[in-house]
Amino acid sequence: MTGFTGAFTFPGNLGARFATPSDEDFLLQLFIEARPWLSWAEGSRDFLRMLHEQQYATMRAGLESLYPEHIDLVIEKAGDRVGRLTVDLGYSDWRVSELQISIGARGRGIGSDVLRGLQMAATGLLLPITLSTPMMGSHGRQVYERLGFRVTDVTPPLYQMAWFPQGHPAAAPAGAAVPA
């Protein structure tokens, strides 16, 4: 991330900008893609649309409540919207509450590049990055561990994870095994 220009840059030729009202349909679609089980409900197409919109609004309200100072960013690659990042840039840590990549852009390292960019920025401030990932039905834990995150707590159905920059008091000494 560079100086504030209304947008942020990340490795892998990625950028992120503040979400705008014109992004709402894209953000709702990302929400639906990340929660396919909502589409398993019985009902008409209109009912399912209403269910998705209601759950999306509930998720957004929850984010506002838990992280009132979060920023909501749209991730772009070569000008195309490919994902979403919601992060709370706190004073004691940066909390990634949502990192979603569209189905068509998954498997290309976009999420990893976004996290690497956050790690580079957080290193200079000696701030940890925290997040949670599902215990089941997700490969998140393995992906985050490859990026240096470690499990700090288990609160079913989630793993609580953190990454600590070198020099942070909680950072593991080089070469030390970190318990899972």
The candidate with the shortest Cα–Cα distance to 30, out of 67, 73, 82, is 82
Judging by beta carbons within 10 Å of its beta carbon (0-12, 13-18, 19+), is residue 65 exposed, middle or buried? exposed
Q: Which domain CATH number covers 126?
A: 3.40.630.30
Total count of domains within the chain: 1
Residue 79 lies in a domain: yes
Residue 20 lies in a domain: yes
Give me the average pLDDT of each 10-residue run along the chain (180 residues).
63 93 96 88 91 92 88 95 95 94 95 95 95 91 96 96 94 56
Residue 65 lies in a domain: yes
Q: Which domain holds residue 130?
A: 7-163
C-alpha span between 69 and 148 (Å, rounded): 26
Strand pairing category for 70-77 and 150-155 = unpaired
Confidence at residue 2, expressed as pLDDT on a 0 to 100 scale: 40
